Amino acid sequence: MAEVVLFHHVQGLTSGVVAFADDLRAVGHTVHTPDLFDGRTFASQEEGSRYVEQVGFGEITGRGVRAAGPLPDDVVYAGFSLGVLPAQKLAQTRAGARGALLVHACIPVSEFGPAWPGKVPVQVHAMEDDPFFTEDIDAAHALVAEHPDAELFLYPGDRHLFADRSLPSYDPDAARLLTQRAIDFLGPVEDRR
């Protein structure tokens, strides 16, 4: 089974993020969920964003990189929205990465290097009319166009954190499909060991 590091979104390590990790664990994967906010969770994206602005995106990304440090190199990096920053950075820069699951966000590949690593498969998941993802859609399309093992899945709707069942933005149908696609993705990643 695969080993996964799942980084949370701007509202913190919510019970919905943990539930997604538990869904992956239920089929046999090992999933680590580092808390980049030292136990803080926020009732809204706006509150979480204010905290992140105070701490800094670089520091949050650095916390993710440090949290992954003691773990094996050959893991799949996953992130929800803000958590895509450390997940994508590690997938692009840490030797041995097995794959990346980028949920609700996608950063231009050039942010972390000249190109996506050749043998690292990646999936990007977002709602097609998510106002936060509109700034990331070009990066996602570019990644898919440039990398043969990159997939972009767009779900109908306009919710941002639709995969977090603890939030009002949760969409059970889209979240179920995303979870199944993630589970299917992790199987072949494990087979490549």
Question: Over the chain, what HEC string results?
Answer: CCEEEEECECCECCHHHHHHHHHHHHCCCEEECCCCCCCCECCCHHHHHHHHHHHCHHHHHHHHHHHHCCCCCCCEEEEEHHHHHHHHHHHHHCCCCCEEEEECCCCCHHHCCCCCCCCCCEEEEEECCCCCHHHCHHHHHHHHHHCCCEEEEEECCCCCCCCCCCCCCCCHHHHHHHHHHHHHHHHHHHHCC
CATH of domain 3-191: 3.40.50.1820
Identify the pLDDT of residue 129.
97
Q: How far apart are CA 25 and CA 31, in angstroms?
A: 6
Q: Please answer whether residues 183 and 1 qualify as being in contact, where contact means their C-beta atoms are separated by less than 8 angstroms.
A: no
Identify the pLDDT of residue 118.
86
Percent of the chain at pLDDT > 70 equals: 98
Mean pLDDT of the chain, nearest integer: 96
pLDDT tens digits, 40-86: 999 999 999 999 999 999 999 999 999 999 999 999 999 999 999 99
**Neighbouring C-beta atoms of residue 71, cutoff 10 Å:** 17
Q: How far apart are CA 119 and CA 100, in angstroms?
A: 11
Checking if the pLDDT of 193 tops 50, the result is no
pLDDT tens digits, 141-150: 999 999 999 9
Confidence category of residue 192, pLDDT binned at 50, 70, 90: low
